Structure 1
């Protein structure tokens, strides 16, 4: 693994496990949509919003020229992707 990205807000305070090969790791959470209270429409909107955020982050990650970036540049790109929101 080159890097590990965690996304659960509740896990942010927990210790990350040791990953094989000591990959770069970063955390950029999204609120847990299962914790949202309200009408069915409100809950569905929460799930949709989180899906959009994660989908955008994955799309950006998938086009990164990882093999052309040094470790510092890759960490910066991953941090930037983690800031993408809906």
Structure 2
């Protein structure tokens, strides 16, 4: 993930606590946000269907957050 480090971004958004602390810094990002969603790979347990349910729930939470965020972003 070193290629984009020198590029300019308006927004950099991390989506888990681990990414917030371990992701590289993007010095040319105008805005940086952290959306700490549950990591489904760590949280999902049980049968395949039960694990899939966790992944889908987190996916849907991220989708809702994106939709709300996009409605407030000024371009």
Query: Does TM-score exceed 0.5, indicating one fold?
Result: yes
Shift of 1:14: 2.2
Figure out how many residues of one structure are paired with residues of the other and give that number: 66
CA distance in structure 2 between the aligned counterparts of 1:51 and 1:5, rounded to whole angstroms: 15
Question: Structure 2: any 5+ residue segments left out of the alignment?
Answer: 1-8
Runs of 4+ in 1 over 6 A off after TM superposition: none
Name the structure 2 match of 1:26: 33
TM-score with structure 2 setting the length: 0.69
Shift of 1:16: 3.7
CA distance in structure 1 between the aligned counterparts of 2:70 and 2:20, rounded to whole angstroms: 24
CA distance in structure 1 between the aligned counterparts of 2:51 and 2:17, rounded to whole angstroms: 17
